[in-house]
């Protein structure tokens, strides 16, 4: 079976993203077994939010995604040297702005954490002190990412995806070093070898983040050398291409702020619940992000430079056909996967995480609630990137604003009666609504309506088949098999049951 260039890129990204997610799960398993559903781990997870927000705003999402369409246009029309000049100017600006904002966060960390509208108003005073200390330390990694994230965008604009896809894996290596070496009081034993242990507790996890961020940057340097990158000093704010990036960045920055704000709202609500609520939401979201990254992010990342090129040379029909195929594939693949994982994951959660019966039950319900929003999360990747490829960042901003209003409204209604699963359900509902709005608005920009065809009915049958098979095999094996078989065989058979129904869409995946 011959794969298109875009399909090859998507497959490459999916493989590396899968490796990244497996390492991330290994890291989280180790952390869970060290700290459990504890107040210290809750504090660590909350402390990551503001530094993650800065990274997402400056280079991880707002600037990088606004950057790629313009870089692709300059590279297509003017060549590589002007492209790297533009890259240098934006990177210089990103570093200055990130450093300044990091300093402000460090200074005002206390009110940001303790305020009733802050990130952890429900924590005890001791927990809040720990959050403040960890958050300030984590800002070092954010400053490193201000450059590393842009390098990813620069290489992707050059249609180079290997090293940017490898970088998150090395980021995980650094974090695992923090978990295994820096955090524990007693060294891990691997056969006759006992690893050193620095007994830094959750602080060691933050040092692991800093090490991982450094590796994330260093692994991409060979890519800059390959494409003859030359750094240029200065900002050149009056340059037309710099202005174009900043015009796109403005609404995109606000969009990413609103997206990240949902995480702050999530933890604000969860901090008012029992210990472990924040961590269960963090882990449940991480598990949802495994299939979301392999499908939505992989395809979306591969699509953006291609869609940007189609738009730059006014290939309207190619633009629409690429989006339509991607949407059809995502619907067909994500719904059965969501059903299988929502029903079948609990035995593996019991095996992997040492949370006890009550903790595992909570995590299972939270994860199932997040899985309901898997399709919405994946389709949002396509919708947002399609508008950015058209150099329109305002529509994603409007839909993200609606998202936040709905998140606060629905979350406030559900988090008390349903607890942490109610917050996860809120996430699924609002991101699905946002994805639908994006696709409706995008459809109006197409030369003809986006067609889903008869595949939607086959997808529904695939989802029902996958869910019933997973549930049925789980019931049969519940008292007759080891935990590993009980946790894997039902889901494998559930996945196989859906394949005949969606085989056509899987073949389409090779032709994106």
For 173-213, the DSSP string reads: HHHHHIIIIIS-SS--EETTEE------THHHHHHHHHHHH
Size of the chain in residues: 512
Q: Is 391 exposed, middle or buried (0-12, 13-18, 19+ CB in 10 A)?
A: middle
Position 188 in a domain = no
pLDDT at res. 424:
96
Of 238, 273, 308, the one marking the end of a domain is: 273
- At residue 62, the pLDDT reads 56
Q: Which residue has the higher pLDDT, 193 or 302?
A: 193
Is position 178 within any domain?
Answer: no
- Which residues are CB-neighbours of 246 under 8 A, at least 6 positions away? 237
Confidence (pLDDT) at 407: 95
Instruction: Tell me, yes or no, whether 280 and 236 share the same domain.
Output: no
**Residue 115: inside a domain, yes or no?**
yes
Calpha distance 426→406 (Å, rounded): 8
- Distance CA(381)–CA(88), nearest Å, equals 27
SS3 171: helix
Token pair recorded at residue 261: 């704000």
Task: List residues bridging with 190 in a β-sheet.
Answer: 193
Give a yes or no: residue 198 inside a domain.
no
Q: Is residue 337 part of a domain?
A: yes
Q: What is the mean pLDDT of residues 171-179?
A: 94
Helices 298-312 + 5-35 axis angle, to 10? 140
**Mean pLDDT of the 267-280 span:** 87
pLDDT band at 452; cut points 50, 70, 90? low
β-strand partners of 182:
none
Flag whether pLDDT at 418 surpasses 90.
yes
Residues 265 and 371 in one domain: no
Question: Residue 192: inside a domain, yes or no?
Answer: no
CB 130 within 8 A of CB 40: yes
Would you say 291 and 342 are in contact if contact means Cβ atoms under 8 Å apart?
Answer: no
- Among 32-36, 200-204, 224-228, 505-509, the least confident range: 505-509
Query: Is residue 255 pLDDT above 60, yes or no?
Result: yes
Same-domain status, 294 and 259: no
**Rg value, the chain, Cα:** 22
* Whether the predicted pLDDT of 430 surpasses 90: yes
* CA separation for the pair 429, 414 (Å, rounded): 12
Convert 40-63 to b/e letters by CB count within 10 Å (16 or more is b). bbbbbbbbbbbbbbbbbbbbbbbb
Q: Going by C-beta distance under 8 Å and a sequence separation of 6 or more, which residues neighbour residue 53?
A: 257, 260, 261, 263, 264
What pLDDT does 71 receive?
81
pTM here is 0.73
Looking at residue 431, its pLDDT comes to: 94
8 A C-beta contact, residue 303 and residue 6:
yes
In the 8-state DSSP scheme, what is residue 122?
T
Phi, psi of 271 (to 5 degrees): -65, -15
**Separation CA 189–CA 35 (nearest Å):** 18
- Enclosing H/E stretch for 13: helix 5-35
Q: What's the pLDDT band for 323 if we cut at 50, 70, 90?
A: confident
Both 243 and 326 in a single domain? Answer: no
pLDDT digits (tens, 9 = 90+) for 469-479: 999 999 888 76
Same domain as 95, residue 5: no
Instruction: List CB contacts of 343: < 8 A, sequence separation 6 or more.
Output: 368, 467, 470, 471, 474, 490, 494
**Sorting pLDDT into bands at 50, 70 and 90, what band is 511?**
low
More confident residue, 502 or 507: 502
Is residue 414 predicted with pLDDT exceeding 80? Answer: yes
Let me know whether 252 and 345 are in one domain.
no
Q: What pLDDT does 68 receive?
A: 75
Confidence of residue 319 (pLDDT cuts 50, 70, 90): confident
Say whether 145 sits in a helix, a strand or coil.
helix
Please give the tally of structural domains in the chain: 2
- Does residue 210 surpass a pLDDT of 90? yes
189 beta partners? 194
Q: Indicate whether 322 and 430 sit together in one domain.
A: yes
Task: Decide which of 243, 273, 303 is a domain's last residue.
Answer: 273
Has residue 194 been placed in a domain?
no
pLDDT of residue 28: 84
**pLDDT tens across 52-80, in order?**
777 666 655 556 666 777 887 888 888 88
Same domain, 85 and 11: no
| pLDDT at 231 (0 to 100) | 84
Q: Confidence band (pLDDT; 50, 70, 90) for 237?
A: confident
Residue 72 in any domain: the answer is yes
Chain segment 380-391, per-residue pLDDT in tens: 988 888 888 888
Confidence of residue 374 (pLDDT cuts 50, 70, 90): very high
267 and 314 housed in the same domain: no
Q: How far is residue 216's CA from residue 144's CA, in Å, rounded to a whole number?
A: 9
Do residues 261 and 284 both lie within one domain?
A: no
310 band by pLDDT with thresholds 50, 70 and 90: confident
Is residue 213 within 8 Å of residue 55, measured between CB atoms? Answer: no
The reply to whether 342 and 268 lie within a common domain is no
Over range 340-368, report the average pLDDT. Answer: 90
Average pLDDT, the chain: 86
Range of the domain at 250: 39-165+227-273
Are 18 and 107 part of one and the same domain? Answer: no
| Mean pLDDT, residues 1-5 | 61
**Residue range 417-435: mean pLDDT, rounded:** 95
């Amino acid at each position: 079976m011959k794969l298109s260039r875009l399909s090859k890129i998507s497959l490459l990204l999916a493989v590396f993203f899968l490796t990244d997610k497996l390492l991330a799960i290994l890291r989280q398993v180790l952390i869970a077994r060290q700290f459990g559903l504890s107040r210290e781990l809750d504090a660590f997870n909350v402390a990551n939010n503001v530094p993650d927000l800065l990274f997402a705003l400056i280079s991880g999402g707002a600037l990088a995604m606004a950057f790629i369409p313009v870089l692709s246009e300059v590279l297509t029309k003017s060549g590589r040297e002007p492209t790297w000049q533009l890259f240098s100017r934006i990177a210089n600006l990103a570093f200055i702005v990130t450093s300044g904002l990091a300093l402000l966060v460090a200074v005002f960390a206390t009110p940001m954490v303790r305020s009733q509208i802050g990130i952890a108003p429900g924590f005890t005073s001791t927990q809040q002190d720990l959050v403040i200390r960890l958050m300030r330390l984590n800002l070092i990694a954010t400053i490193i990412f201000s450059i590393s994230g842009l390098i990813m965008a620069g290489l992707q604009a050059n249609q180079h995806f290997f090293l940017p896809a490898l970088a998150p894996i090395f980021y995980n290596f650094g974090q695992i070093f923090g978990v295994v070496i820096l955090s524990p009081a007693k060294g891990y034993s691997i056969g006759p070898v006992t690893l050193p242990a620095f007994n830094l507790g959750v602080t060691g996890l933050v040092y692991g983040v800093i090490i991982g961020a450094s590796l994330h940057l260093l692994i991409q340097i060979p890519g800059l050398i390959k494409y003859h990158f030359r750094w240029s000093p200065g900002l050149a704010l009056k340059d037309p291409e710099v202005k174009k990036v900043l015009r796109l960045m403005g609404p995109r920055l606000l969009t990413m702020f609103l997206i990240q704000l949902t995480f702050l709202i999530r933890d604000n609500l969860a901090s008012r619940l029992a210990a472990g609520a924040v961590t269960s939401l963090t882990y449940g979201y991480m598990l949802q992000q495994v299939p979301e990254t392999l499908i939505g992010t992989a395809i979306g990342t591969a699509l953006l430079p291609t869609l940007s090129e189609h738009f730059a040379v006014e290939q309207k029909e190619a633009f629409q056909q690429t989006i339509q195929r991607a949407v059809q594939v995502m619907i067909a693949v994500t719904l059965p996967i969501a059903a299988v994982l929502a029903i079948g994951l609990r035995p593996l959660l019991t095996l992997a995480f040492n949370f006890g019966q009550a903790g595992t039950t909570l995590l299972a319900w939270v994860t199932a609630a997040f899985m309901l929003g898997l399709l919405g999360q994946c389709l949002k990747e396509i919708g947002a990137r399609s508008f950015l490829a058209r150099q329109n960042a305002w529509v994603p901003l409007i839909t993200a604003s609606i998202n936040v209003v709905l998140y606060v409204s629905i979350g406030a209604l559900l988090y008390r009666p349903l607890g942490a699963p109610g917050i996860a359900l809120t996430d699924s509902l609002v991101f699905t609504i946002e994805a639908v709005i994006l696709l409706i608005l995008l459809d109006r920009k197409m030369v003809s309506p986006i067609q889903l065809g008869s595949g939607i009915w086959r997808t529904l049958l695939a989802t029902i088949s996958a869910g019933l098979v997973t549930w049925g095999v789980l019931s049969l094996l519940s008292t007759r098999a080891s935990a590993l078989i009980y946790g894997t065989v039902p889901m494998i058979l559930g996945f196989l049951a859906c394949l005949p129904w969606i085989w056509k869409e899987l073949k389409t995946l090779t032709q994106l």
